[in-house]
Amino acid sequence: MKHLQNISKTKNGGFENDDENYNAAMPVSPMAHYFNSSALNVFVLCVLESEVPIDDSKAMQLLEGLFLPLNPRFSSIMIEGKKGKKQWKPVEVNLKEHIKVPIFPRSNNPAKLYDDDFDEYLTKIAGQEFPQDKPLWEVHIIKYPTRNSKGVLVFKMHHALGDGYTLMASLLSCVQRADDPSIPITFPSSKKSAELDDDDNSNIKMKSMLKKLPQTIFSVIKGASDFGWSVLKGNLLVDHESPIKSGHEDVGSRPIAISTVCLSVDSIKEVKNKLKVSINDVLVGMIFLSIRLYMEAKNEESSKADATGLVLLNTRRIRAYKSVKEMLDTKTNSGALWGNQFQFMHVPIPKLSDHSNSLNPLEFVLSANKIINSLRNSLAIPLNGVLLGLVDKIKGPEVAAKYVHKTLANSSLSISHMVGPVEKVAIDNHPVKSFYFMTVGLRQSLTVTILSYMGYLRIGFGVEKEWIDVHHLISCFETAQEMILNAANKI
């Protein structure tokens, strides 16, 4: 198990009580600029479902004492600096402006559940941009019961503040284990999260590469090929209109619907172990199969159309969460710096027509495994980062942001996966029954998110409201899940 250590608090919104540093503006990272630009406006909604009715009497105290000190960006605004370079400028935070407590229409029925009202509210705040004269985050406190909870907390945070890894670490720094707050939160272990902290390990890796020189040469050639295809896909090869892609120019600002489905990690592990793939491969295979089933149901011809998914890859050397303090410390080699440290992998969605009349749903999982493993270790990943950096340096951040926008718009959907705690957690003595997240503003009609928590996986579907029938799509996902589980059980 991996543990998240307690976070030491700092004064002045995260600055170590240094007035000079506190008043000085900090440079905005290139990716943060892209996500808060004329081309893109991307943020994350994290939804925590409480087991008990929410008491918000200590909300301001908790945010001021626990959340704001985590990172100076939480008490800063983004301003225009010299030569068009944006900067983070510290400001006084009026917490009342960041805490939202909506009032839903009253009902005479004390047993009423407010799922419809909550869904409408989530759609509403998903369509509202952040004011640029205030720090880029909000907390929405929903004090009404739903089918899944007695109340809901929604953290709305701009992607310019950081990626899912860093924002999740921040959120988890505000919670404690529900059974024993004195014990650190733990996360599922990952064999691939081992750190390489010293030069000896680097030397061993180099010697191993030299012994495999022919394979290295092949990897370079393949990486160049993957990079070329990625550039073409980001600029020229466009997924055409389909039941999961409207092609609307203003898709990023159109109303979205968000719905989720929950499944057991153990059921996914059964498929994983039999096929010798990763949990992520199984989930991506399920998502891809469900999409093809949905496309065929809506328009049989569209099931043969090319469609591409952008799978987000965390490019940090390690996957285990670090404390926010460690991520902000650039002097140590933590391997997990704060910021937007990820790349997109273009993964073609297999076609139903690619298979024989007797469809083998496991082929979708095996295909996802083959392509993702190939791209994960490909030179195309760092080369894409270099290319984006060159575009930024030569033509400026706004042009680079448009390049990212085009990459997103040319594909059909995005998939991102986060790891949550193994045990139940609580925030201010409110046990969290379940939670999920959704990325908003990616200029796509469909976004899929995955979050593990307490042995379960919460799959979120964010769809363009007037284009995709989210309930039908979830039904197709449940069908795909059943098909894959049944096929795996026959092995």
Establish if 437 belongs to a structural domain: no
Same-domain check for residues 157 and 32: yes
Q: Name the average pLDDT for the chain.
A: 84
Give the model's confidence band at 402: pLDDT under 50 very low, under 70 low, under 90 confident, else very high.
very high
Together in a domain, 335 and 412: yes
- Is residue 467 predicted with pLDDT exceeding 90? yes
- Indicate if 116 and 253 belong to the same structural domain: no
pLDDT value for 344:
81
Confidence of residue 328 (pLDDT cuts 50, 70, 90): low
pLDDT single digits (tens) 345-395: 889 999 886 554 568 899 999 999 999 888 877 777 788 888 888 998 999
User: Strand 26-27 relative to strand 256-264: parallel, antiparallel, unpaired?
Assistant: unpaired
**The domain spanning residue 398 has which CATH number?**
3.30.559.30
Residues 265 and 159 reside in one and the same domain: no
Question: 226 and 173, same structural domain?
Answer: no
Please tell me the total count of domains within the chain.
2
Residues 142-163 as b/e (b if ≥16 CB within 10 A, e otherwise) read bbbbbebbbbbbbbbbbbbbbb
Q: Could you tell me if 163 and 220 lie in one domain?
A: no
pTM of the prediction? 0.86
Band of the pLDDT at 248, cuts 50, 70, 90? very high
462 domain-assigned: yes
> Any idea what the CATH number is for the domain that residue 99 is in?
3.30.559.10
Confidence of residue 2 (pLDDT cuts 50, 70, 90): very low
Whether the predicted pLDDT of 231 surpasses 70: yes
Find tokens 């392509």 and name the residue: 371
Residue 312, pLDDT score: 84
Are residues 148 and 283 both part of a single domain?
A: no
Residue 468 phi/psi, 5-degree rounding, is: -115, 135
Q: What is the pLDDT of residue 30?
A: 86
pLDDT of residue 6: 36
Query: Is 429's pLDDT higher than 60?
Result: yes
Q: Which of 147, 177, 207 corresponds to the end of one domain?
A: 177
Averaged over 273-288, what is the pLDDT? 96
Residue position matching structure tokens 């899929």: 448
Residues 240 and 132 reside in one and the same domain = no
Closest C-alpha among 138, 56, 46 to residue 97: 138
pLDDT digits (tens, 9 = 90+) for 79-95: 987 766 889 999 999 99
Mean pLDDT of 298-302: 85
Confidence of residue 164 (pLDDT cuts 50, 70, 90): confident
| 146 and 293 both lie in a single domain | no
Q: Which domain holds residue 172?
A: 26-177
How far is Cα 183 from Cα 265, in angstroms, rounded to an integer?
24
Per-residue confidence band for 200, with pLDDT thresholds at 50, 70 and 90: very low
454 pLDDT above the threshold of 90: yes
Q: Give tens-digit pLDDT for 213-224.
A: 555 665 666 666
Residue 31 carries which side chain, given as an amino acid letter?
M
| 282 part of a folded domain | yes
Both 285 and 410 in a single domain?
A: yes
Where helices occur in 136-278 by DSSP H, the ranges are 164-172, 199-211, 213-235, 265-275
Answer with the residue of higher pLDDT: 388 or 53: 53
Residue 36 DSSP one-character state: B
**DSSP per-residue string spanning 275-309:** HT--HHHHHHHHHHHHHHHHHHHH-GGGGGS--EE
